[in-house]
């Protein structure tokens, strides 16, 4: 029998909780003695399992591995039906043979669906700073955001999930609406990264607490969520799956922790800054409408 991936709608219908019943009991057995638990991390809170499952399924199908010349180079994610956000350093050298590879997962028997970059792929971008400045104690000054907004050859976000983009019995892939409203990072909050570490099938990494803290100039955020090479350009989510940062670099490891106060870290670009820069670069252009900005 052929394995079929359940739809997002079907996943959302699964029960959010499980009950334990004894063989001859008339009701569910309590899982713990009331009054002995406490909230240890207010910022982490709780997540409804059904809602979280849907959010995670959306992240899985909207995030792609970026392959250039047949080699995995980074990660990107849909921010409009035909627009992908990633790091500038992922695509700045060459995009010859570049594709966004969707649906590359362990459970997918095929490699995934490759969607090429368009001929006019470069919609907007912002440079990154030197590694020394990026990872210094204060982070870089304002003005460098290390992002690239890439146009694909197809409106993959409006198409069906899976190998047949024209399928009518499968959910559409969708995309993330970038949120440019102010966001305050809290060290205790969870931060999740979804992408392709070392080019592997799509993975989830999370930390709670994440230790999230902005740099001195506020245009970088540092956290303890695990990352590896290949996650550059990944979306960084808060616990409600709002995209709050664009992952772009790993800081000094614990072995070199003396170089940076607070030890090792990973680092992303706050989405608030990316949105502000996009509005400035794309003022008066139709791409702002595509982005819903």
Q: Is residue 40 part of a domain?
A: no
pLDDT digits (tens, 9 = 90+) for 151-198: 999 999 999 998 889 998 889 999 999 999 999 999 999 999 999 999
Given a cut of 60, whether residue 1 has pLDDT beyond it is no
Q: Is residue 161 part of a domain?
A: yes
> Domain range spanning residue 231?
54-291
Q: What pLDDT, on a 0 to 100 scale, did the predictor assign at position 109?
A: 67
pLDDT digits (tens, 9 = 90+) for 29-74: 665 556 667 777 777 777 788 888 999 999 999 999 999 999 999 9
We report the CATH number of the domain holding residue 170 as 2.40.10.120
Q: How far apart are CA 274 and CA 255, in angstroms?
A: 32
Given a cut of 60, whether residue 3 has pLDDT beyond it is no
For the chain, percent of residues with pLDDT exceeding 70: 83
Mean pLDDT (the chain, rounded)? 87
Q: Is residue 200 part of a domain?
A: yes
Buried b (16+ CB within 10 A) or exposed e, 262-288: eebbbbbbbbbbbbebbeeebeeeebe
Q: Is residue 203 part of a domain?
A: yes
Number of domains composing the chain: 1
Q: Is residue 30 part of a domain?
A: no
Q: Is residue 43 part of a domain?
A: no
């Amino acid at each position: 029998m052929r394995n079929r991936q359940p739809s997002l709608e079907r996943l959302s219908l699964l029960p959010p909780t499980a009950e334990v019943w004894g063989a001859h009991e008339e009701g569910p057995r309590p899982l713990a003695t009331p009054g002995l638990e406490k909230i240890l991390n207010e910022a982490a809170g709780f997540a409804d399992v059904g809602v979280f499952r849907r959010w995670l399924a959306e992240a899985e199908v909207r995030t792609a591995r970026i392959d250039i010349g047949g080699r995995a180079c980074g990660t990107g994610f849909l921010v409009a039906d035909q627009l992908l956000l990633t790091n500038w350093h992922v695509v700045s050298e060459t995009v010859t043979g570049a594709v966004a590879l969707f649906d590359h997962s362990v459970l997918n028997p095929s490699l995934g669906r490759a969607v090429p970059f368009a001929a006019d792929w470069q919609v907007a971008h912002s440079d990154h700073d030197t590694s020394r400045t990026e990872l210094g104690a204060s982070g870089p000054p304002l003005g460098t955001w290390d992002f690239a907004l890439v146009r694909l050859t197809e409106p993959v976000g409006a198409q069906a999930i899976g190998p047949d983009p024209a399928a009518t019995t499968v959910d559409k892939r969708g995309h993330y609406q970038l949120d440019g409203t102010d966001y305050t990072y809290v060290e205790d909050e969870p931060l999740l990264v979804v992408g392709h570490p070392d080019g592997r099938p799509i993975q989830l990494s999370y930390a709670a607490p994440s230790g999230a803290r902005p740099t001195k100039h506020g245009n970088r955020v540092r956290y303890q969520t695990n990352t590896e090479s290949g996650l550059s350009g990944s979306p960084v989510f808060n616990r409600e799956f709002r995209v709050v940062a664009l992952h772009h670099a790993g800081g000094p490891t614990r072995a070199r922790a003396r170089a940076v106060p607070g030890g090792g870290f990973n680092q992303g670009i706050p989405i608030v800054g990316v949105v502000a820069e996009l509005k400035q670069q794309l003022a008066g252009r139709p791409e702002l409408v595509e982005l819903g900005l």
